[in-house]
Amino acid sequence: MTDNSLGIYIHIPFCERKCRYCDFLSFSADDREKEKYADALIRETDECECEGQSVDTVFFGGGTPTVLPTELTLKIMEKIREKFKVTPDAEITTECNPKTADKEKLTAYKKAGFNRISIGLQSAREDELKVLGRIHDFKDFTECFSAAREAGFENINIDLMMGLPGQDFKIFSETLDKVTKFDPEHISVYSLILEEGTPLEKNIENFDPLPNEDEERKIYHGTVKALEDKGFHRYEISNFAKKGYECRHNLKYWELKDYRGFGIGAASFLKGKRFSNTKDIGKYMSAEDVKKLREDIHTPDQRELMGEFMFLGLRKTDGIRVSDFRKLFRADIEDVFGEVINKQMREKTLKKTPDGFALTDRGIDVSNFVLADYV
Q: Which pLDDT tens digit goes with each residue over 302-316? A: 999 999 999 999 999
Pairing, β 233-236 against β 116-122: unpaired
- The predicted pLDDT at position 3 comes to 64
Cα–Cα dist 76/241, whole Å: 29
Cα–Cα dist 247/251, whole Å: 6
CA dist list (Å): 352 to 239, 257, 325, 333: 22, 24, 15, 13
**Among 81, 85, 179, 72, which Cα is nearest to 125's?**
179
CA dist list (Å): 59 to 7, 141, 164, 334, 364: 8, 21, 27, 35, 27
Q: Do 6-254 and 303-372 fold alike per CATH?
A: no
Q: Which residues contact 75 (CB under 8 A, 6 or more apart)?
A: 38, 42
Pairing, β 186-191 against β 239-241: antiparallel
Beta bridge partners of 162: 191
- The predicted pLDDT at position 288 comes to 80
For the entire predicted model, the pTM comes to: 0.95
Tell me the angle at which helices 302-313 and 333-346 cross, rounded to the nearest 10 degrees: 40
Contact call for residues 40 and 47 (beta carbons, < 8 A): no
Taking the domains of the chain in order of start, what are their residue ranges? Answer: 6-254, 303-372
Q: Which residues contact 337 (CB under 8 A, 6 or more apart)?
A: 306, 310, 374
Cα–Cα dist 310/319, whole Å: 9
Q: Which fold has domain 303-372?
A: Arc Repressor Mutant, subunit A (1.10.10)
Looking at 3.50.50.60, 3.20.20.70, 3.40.50.20, 3.30.470.10, the CATH number of the domain 6-254 comes to: 3.20.20.70
Element (H, E) at 303: helix 302-313
Side-chain half-sphere CA neighbours of 259 within 13 A: 25
Low-confidence residues of the chain, pLDDT below 70? 1-3
CA dist list (Å): 333 to 182, 184, 322, 336, 350: 43, 38, 6, 5, 14
Contact call for residues 310 and 337 (beta carbons, < 8 A): yes
**Among 76, 84, 107, which Cα is nearest to 10's?**
76
